[in-house]
Amino acid sequence: MRPEILFPLFADATTLPGVGPKTAPLFEKLGVTKVGDAVFLPPTGVVDRRVQPSVQGILEGTMLCVKASVVSHHPPRRPGAPYRITVNDGTLDFMLVFFRPTPEWLNRILPVGEARYLCGKIEHYDGIAQMPHPEVFDPATEDAPDGFAPIYPATAGLGQKVIAKAVRAALGTVPKLPEWQDAAWLAKKGWPPWNAAVAALHAPDGPMTLEADDPGRERLAYDELLSHQLALALIRAKRKRSKGRVSVGDGRLRKRVLDSLPFALTGAQERAIAVIAKDMETPERMLRLLQGDVGAGKTLVAFMAMLIAVEAGGQAALMAPTEILARQHHAGLGRLAEAAGVRLAILTGKDKAATKRETLAALASGEIDVVVGTHALFQKTVEFRDLRMAVVDEQHRFGVDQRNELADKGRGADILVMSATPIPRTLALASYGDMDVSVLDEKPPGRQPIDTRMVSLSRYDDIIENLRKALDKGARAYWICPLVEESDTLDVAAAEDRTRVLRHAFGEDRVVMAHGRQAPGEKDASMEAFRTGAAQVLVATTVVEVGVDVPEATIMVIEHAERFGLAQLHQLRGRVGRGAARSSCVLLYQGPLGDTARERLGVLRETEDGFRIAEEDLRLRGAGDLLGVKQAGLPRMRLADLEVHGDLMEVARDDARLILNRDEDLATERGQALRVLLYLMERDESVRYLKSA
Ligand code: ADP
Ligand code: MG
């Protein structure tokens, strides 16, 4: 339960002055629904509130505060014209300008003859300085503006004064919280205590306070990162406590498969398999992420892990996100299973009732050693005799619950999840901190580089001509049509149009189409025709499974490449270059390209290293946009920014694991303080993972 000391911060925002029925929705837009949200609302700017002697000589656009006396009011002479008020700052007359004000209100706050502090932006009109809609302070009742004031993110209808007032009131309720950070670490970084840091957040002493490396901000960012990593570490620790299985294989099945392969494992594959085997030997439950670029050979690693389970007398399952992928895995593993002498089956939602009944019976009796399937695998009716290894392919396509549902079909089954989405290390730490990670950072040898080019759509005719020549020589090509503004219908229309045009150019039979709105039979037929070579061009939207494996395809054309994320382009390109023949990728773009767009596409031309591409994508687009961030299920971070605080994320991960090693139940004084931090950051659920919760 949330500790009492935090109650004030979790009070409703409407308890703050100025947050009422009308303004509450506006505050909500700023993410402020509780008092604590106002405390953590970081200013996005700083204004100098030191009162200046005069507006004389002040540059256009400068924000400043002056003291001036009200000289005269000039109500508008015609409708729509502004209400002007002449004031004098002792040196100069200037104008205050108000559009559509209530005259009574202006007369009340700016009576003629009285002095006021005025803060606002200086503009010049007809050579006269003016200040539109200034903030007005009455020296008789209000403090003079002074020092520096925070500027909060703007939202229509909510003035700075209202926000600042609510924030000030929120700060007034802030309890003195115990220190959860390590004292030596704080001292080393020169970071203030939490209470001082939140106070300083709203009391800038100059523009420097906005920088991400401001000690106060950095401390608050680290609080967020640490709480996140601690939450992940708690999940991990709980899993490690839950009983797993000891699966020791004798290697006999693995040896048969390796002997049957025409190639040797890469060093990265060998390392990954060794680590997995070690995980499986321990009584703890494995949860390991196998990350590797397309074509890195993850499937083989997974199969080896599954064979260990079988060697140890158990069963293994591989779950893929789509029917097509499941069938592909099944086909690909068939030869290997044969070599090993293990019984392999497939289970999908499309199986005929009788077949399905048989498969289910064989799984329950243990006749089947390895099963490949779709979501159908974790349905209630599916029982295993002894599931020891659950492998999840393209893990981001499944929820954590689905992953666990599959694994729970065994007693403490080990889990291996695979991802072909290379994500930068900081993001991986942020999102997969609860897993152990193996990376296949080495591709099988002999792959030819893919000739990647950027070509303007205006050279469409040349493209078609070149493509025709290649097709005449027997080549197979993908033609990818982009997402049109996230609309399925328009996507499909674009793909259909393109198919028509290409059929016209190359002949009816040569071109097939696959998209997300097709009847499954139709789509499968297209894929099959392309796979066998009956058709040479596959027009597809990205909705279509990118995991398709047709080694004979050597050309990838991506239309409107500028609309895709780099990671996505990289994935698409990875569909070619799988066989021995030289492959090419044409990034068709609609000109003119902006600098960033050009630079982004240029990265693809320079490298085929998915991790480098992901890093560049992060640099060019920012973490918020990156494919994978949304999937990563990151909590809201208000001060931490993965781009600038990446190193701290790494420290936080180690810190969190160290904390739990020493104090697994968060029982020490610091442990208790860390519990407060977890509640403060709304990680309530993770506290429940504590042993004694
Ligand atoms: P991923 O799933 O990581 O994209 P796959 O497992 O589908 O990659 O492997 C891609 C291709 O590379 C497959 O045809 C596979 O047989 C082949 N392959 C796997 N490991 C090796 C290796 N060590 N040497 C050569 N080819 C390999
Ligand atoms: Mg794969």
CA nearest to 92, candidates 61, 129, 48: 129
Q: For ligand 1, which residues put their CB under 6 angstroms from it?
A: 263, 265-266, 269, 292, 294-300, 420, 444
By DSSP bridging, strand 63-74 and strand 115-121 are antiparallel
Residue 587 Cα to ligand 1 middle (Å): 25
Q: 62, 37 in Cβ contact below 8 A?
A: no
Give tens-digit pLDDT for 3-16: 999 999 999 999 99
The whole-angstrom separation of Cα 17 and Cα 179 is 29
**Is 60 exceeded by the pLDDT of residue 603?**
yes
The whole-angstrom separation of Cα 19 and Cα 13 is 7
The mean per-residue pLDDT over the stretch 48-56 comes to 92
**Is 60 exceeded by the pLDDT of residue 412?**
yes
Poorest-confidence range of 368-382, 509-523, 537-551, 552-566? 537-551
Q: Could you give the strand order of the β-sheet that contains 537-541, starting from the edge strand earlier in sequence?
A: 451-456, 584-589, 553-558, 476-481, 537-541, 511-514
Which ligand is nearest the CA of 439, by number?
1
The mean per-residue pLDDT over the stretch 568-581 comes to 85
Q: Is the peptide bond before 520 cis (omega within 30 degrees of 0)?
A: no
**Is 80 exceeded by the pLDDT of residue 86?**
yes
Give tens-digit pLDDT for 506-519: 999 999 998 877 77
Q: 424, 614 in Cβ contact below 8 A?
A: yes
Give tens-digit pLDDT for 635-687: 778 898 877 888 898 899 999 999 999 999 999 999 999 999 999 999 888 88
**Is 90 exceeded by the pLDDT of residue 577?**
no
3-class state of residue 665 by DSSP: coil
Scanning 213-297, the segments in alpha helix (DSSP H) are: 215-241, 252-260, 267-281
CATH class of 252-421: alpha beta
pLDDT at 546: 52
**Nearest ligand 1 atom to alpha carbon 300:** 6
Q: 261, 538 in Cβ contact below 8 A?
A: no
Q: In whole angstroms, how large is the CA radius of gyration of the chain?
A: 32
Q: Which two tokens stand for residue 190?
A: 């020169």
Poorest-confidence range of 61-75, 537-551, 554-568, 570-584? 537-551
pLDDT at 523: 82
Q: 619, 567 in Cβ contact below 8 A?
A: no
**Nearest ligand 1 atom to alpha carbon 264:** 23
pLDDT, greater one: 323 or 181: 181
Name which residue sits closest to atom 20 of ligand 1, judged by CA: 297
Q: pTM of the full predicted structure? A: 0.68
Torsion 158-160-165-166 (CA) sign: positive
The whole-angstrom separation of Cα 56 and Cα 78 is 30
Give Cα separations from 652 to 185, 191, 223 (angstroms): 11, 15, 9
Residue 233 Cα to ligand 1 middle (Å): 33
Give tens-digit pLDDT for 419-456: 877 666 667 777 777 788 888 888 888 778 899 999 99
Q: 481, 495 in Cβ contact below 8 A?
A: yes
DSSP letter (8 states) at residue 265:
P
Q: Which of 41-45, 225-229, 272-276, 320-324 has the highest mean pLDDT?
A: 272-276
Instruction: Give the confidence band of 574 by pLDDT, cuts at 50, 70, 90.
Output: confident
**Nearest ligand 1 atom to alpha carbon 299:** 6
Locate the DSSP E strands across 544-608.
553-558, 584-589
Instruction: Give the confidence band of 398 by pLDDT, cuts at 50, 70, 90.
Output: confident
613, amino acid identity = I
Describe the crossing of helices 298-311 and 323-340 by its angle, rounded to 10 degrees: 50
Choose the residue to mutate in 254, 293, 298, 299 for probing ligand 1, maximizing ligand atoms within 8 Å of C-beta. 299
Poorest-confidence range of 329-338, 379-388, 550-559, 569-578? 569-578
Instruction: Give the confidence band of 631 by pLDDT, cuts at 50, 70, 90.
Output: very low
pLDDT, greater one: 527 or 483: 527
Name which residue sits closest to atom 10 of ligand 1, judged by CA: 295
pLDDT, greater one: 113 or 691: 113
Instruction: Give the confidence band of 533 by pLDDT, cuts at 50, 70, 90.
Output: very high
Mean pLDDT of the chain, nearest integer = 89
Describe the crossing of helices 669-680 and 646-662 by its angle, rounded to 10 degrees: 130
The whole-angstrom separation of Cα 556 and Cα 578 is 12
The whole-angstrom separation of Cα 2 and Cα 174 is 16
Residue 484 Cα to ligand 2 middle (Å): 27
CB half-sphere exposure, 318, CA atoms < 13 A:
31
pLDDT at 623: 52
Name which residue sits closest to atom 25 of ligand 1, judged by CA: 444
The whole-angstrom separation of Cα 424 and Cα 412 is 31
Instruction: Give the confidence band of 633 by pLDDT, cuts at 50, 70, 90.
Output: low
Which ligand is nearest the CA of 296, by number?
1
Q: What residue ranges of the chain are covered by domains with CATH 3.40.50.300?
A: 252-421, 450-607
- Name residue 456's beta-bridge partners: 589
Residue 440 Cα to ligand 1 middle (Å): 11
Which ligand is nearest the CA of 610, by number?
1
Q: What are phi and psi of 193, to 5 degrees?
A: -60, 160
Residue 298 Cα to ligand 1 middle (Å): 7
pLDDT at 629: 44
pLDDT at 323: 83
CA nearest to 681, candidates 166, 223, 201: 223
**Is 50 exceeded by the pLDDT of residue 625?**
no
First to last CA, the chain: 10
Give the CA angle between residues 453, 561, 563 to the nearest 5°: 155
Instruction: Give the confidence band of 487 by pLDDT, cuts at 50, 70, 90.
Output: low
> Tell me: domain 450-607, CATH 3.30.1780.10, correct?
no
Q: Which two tokens stand for residue 223?
A: 């609080």
Give tens-digit pLDDT for 20-42: 999 999 999 999 999 999 999 99
pLDDT at 514: 86
By DSSP bridging, strand 123-125 and strand 128-132 are antiparallel
> Tell me: domain 50-146, CATH 2.40.50.140, correct?
yes
Q: 84, 92 in Cβ contact below 8 A?
A: no
Give Cα separations from 405 to 303, 306, 384, 632 (angstroms): 21, 18, 13, 19
Q: Which two tokens stand for residue 142?
A: 């209000």
Which ligand is nearest the CA of 580, by number?
1
pLDDT at 666: 94
Give tens-digit pLDDT for 362-396: 999 999 999 999 999 988 899 999 999 999 997 66
Residue 546 Cα to ligand 2 middle (Å): 10
pLDDT at 199: 95
